[in-house]
Amino acid sequence: SEKITLQDQHSLSALIVVDVQNDFIHGTLAMKDCPAKQDGGAVIPVINHLLKTVPFHVVVYTQDWHPKDHISFYENLQLRQDLVSCESKVCATTAKLYDTVKFKKPMGEQTLWPAHCIQNTSGAQLHEALSIADNSIFILKGDNPTIDSYSGFWSNQRQTKTDLDKKLKERNIRNVYVCGLALDFCVAATASHSLELNYQTFIIEDACRCADELVMKIKVEELKKDGCEFIQADMVEPLVRGFQIPNV
């Protein structure tokens, strides 16, 4: 059968834990309240087991870290009504929560979310049950009021780049395993940019949850086409240790 193999048996691997924050688990943007009705907290024991058993070279934790006046918050739309493009399918006065509006360049399209993960609030903190690895990297994203950022690497319209790629390259990382919340948004965006940056990229499906299953199916197909591998948590350790495993 077809095998999944690492590019190099001695390649170093990173785990990126995406946005396992209180607001996505039991707060203002809890996964259980999204269309897919999934429990974001269910990823925590899976991730903790990976951290305990798999010899990752480095672990990265990303966090949404928004100012109160962030552009992604539905509550702030009235602050920027004059910046909504005439090309937007939804106008500022009729837009509803979770609608997508189009702002004038360079901001582009923006989904309107409930206020979430506001800087220095409990909602923005990583969940207390999540294990934190030694010598890990923390990436705070979405901290510019007018720029949203799903990915741990770049903002949505690529105006800004975090130092994640630099930190991974400093450590000679070649293989990136991505997990966390939500598969169809921030996990997918992080994995997509990881592929663009030429990391061999894996998404650990049972260590993720999604917000919208229809969106997730589209994102999964796009990522597979781009070369992302979708695996289960029990496949990670042999891969990181350099063994071949069946591609199922």
Q: Residue 153, CB half-sphere, CA atoms under 13 Å: how many?
A: 20
> 135 and 210 share a domain?
yes
246 within some domain? no
Q: Does the annotation mark 117 as catalytic? A: no
By DSSP bridging, strand 58-64 and strand 137-141 are parallel
> 195 and 90 share a domain?
no
- The whole model's pTM is what? 0.93
Q: Does the annotation mark 186 as catalytic? A: yes
Task: Write down the mean pLDDT value for the chain.
Answer: 93
Q: What's 39's domain CATH number?
A: 3.40.50.850
Q: Does the annotation mark 179 as catalytic? A: no
pLDDT at 246: 52
pLDDT of 141-187, one tens digit each? 999 999 999 999 999 988 899 999 999 999 999 999 999 999 999 99
**Looking at 117, 186, 210, 228, which residue is catalytic?**
186
**CB proximity list for 245: less than 8 A, separation 6 or greater:** 3, 4, 235, 238, 239
Domain ranges, residue 157? 14-65+115-181+191-233
Whether the per-residue pLDDT at 8 is higher than 80: the answer is no
245 within some domain? no
pLDDT at 248: 46
pLDDT of 205-232, one tens digit each? 999 999 999 999 999 999 999 999 999 9
Q: How many independent structural domains does the chain possess?
A: 2
3-state secondary structure the chain: CCEECCCCCCCEEEEEEECCEHHHHCCCCCHHHCCCCCCHHHHHHHHHHHHHHCCCCEEEEEEECECCCCCCEHHHHHHHHHHECCCCCCCCCCCCCCCEEEECCCCEEEECECCCCECCCHHHCECCCCCCCCCCEEEEECCCCCCCCCCCCECCCCCCECCHHHHHHHCCEEEEEEEEECHHHHHHHHHHHHHHCCCEEEEEEEEEECCCHHHHHHHHHHHHHHCCEEECHHHHHHHHCCCCEECC
**Looking at 34, 64, 141, 179, which residue is catalytic?**
141
